[in-house]
Structure 1
Amino acid sequence: MVSFENFRKLALSFPNTAEEPHFEKTSFRVNKKIFATFDEKNNHAVLKLTEIDQSVFCASSEKIFYPIPNKWGKQGWTIVELERVRPEMFEDALKLSYENVSQKKR
């Protein structure tokens, strides 16, 4: 299980990360681009993974990681159930999300 406070602390530990509201969610951004959001109502995170990383995480833990069920999910946006995910697995996925977004050409 990962608490929001642990999620926030980890996300803000990455260089140049900012926390900002995003509609009814909390977002974490690098270079003004979202790499993660927190949905308090559903207690889950959404991460921007590559399609390959998304398929690996979803295949290994389909009740913990699954694509958003729309066009965003086909672009790598992945829901993570914070009540179920192991902290080290979440940390790996969040780091990949951060790297994926921070390394994109601006």
Structure 2
Amino acid sequence: MSASHFRRAALALPGAVEGAHQRTADFRVGKRIFATLGYPDDAWGMVKLTQEQQSMLVESEPKIFRPVPGGWGKQGYTNVLLAKADATTLKSALTMAWKNVAPKATAKRRVTKQP
């Protein structure tokens, strides 16, 4: 998986736009960040999950996911090792993160459009 694939997958979600903070690319919906690229370095991405979602992904795919070090990780922020992630796993994690921050009307439309 590459940073450009992560970017394309994040921007494919409804209403997602790219921004930047602290010299990293971020992906937002409704002005709320759901993912970033390049933290802690270019090998990683980050998705904003619930603690339960984070636990599930870290336990099932420990070579791909890890809690962000420190307090942010305890809040569900989760690093994604890009080189180890496949397209399906990444899309699933990004979609979870997107749903966590998307306005309810936007998220509802997205869910009803999926087969």
Normalised by the size of structure 1, how large is the TM-score? 0.90
1:9 and 2:8 aligned: yes
Larger Rg: 2
Pairwise CA distance, 1:42: 3.1
Kindly, what percent of the aligned residue pairs are identical? Answer: 39
> Is the 2:30–2:103 contact (alpha carbons within 8 Å) kept by the matching residues of 1?
no
2-structure distance, mates of 1:18, 1:95: 14
2:96 corresponds to:
96
Pairwise CA distance, 1:63: 2.2
Q: Point out the structure with the larger strand share.
A: 1
1:85 corresponds to:
85
Query: C-alpha offsets along residues 70-98 of structure 1, whole Å, 9 cap, x if unaligned?
Result: 11101100000000112111110010000
Q: Point out the structure with the larger helix share.
A: 2
> Is the 2:68–2:77 contact (alpha carbons within 8 Å) kept by the matching residues of 1?
yes
**What SS does the aligned partner of 2:18 have?**
strand
Query: C-alpha offsets along residues 28-79 of structure 1, whole Å, 9 cap, x if unaligned?
Result: 0011110000007332110001111100100012121010111110110000
Root-mean-square deviation (CA, aligned residues, Å) is 1.4
Query: C-alpha offsets along residues 3-27 of structure 1, whole Å, 9 cap, x if unaligned?
Result: 1221111111111111011112100
**Partner AA of 1:27 in structure 2:** D
**Partner AA of 1:99 in structure 2:** K
1:45 corresponds to:
45
* Structure 2 segments unaligned to the other structure (5+ residues): 105-115
Moved more, 7-16 or 72-81: 7-16
1:36 corresponds to:
35
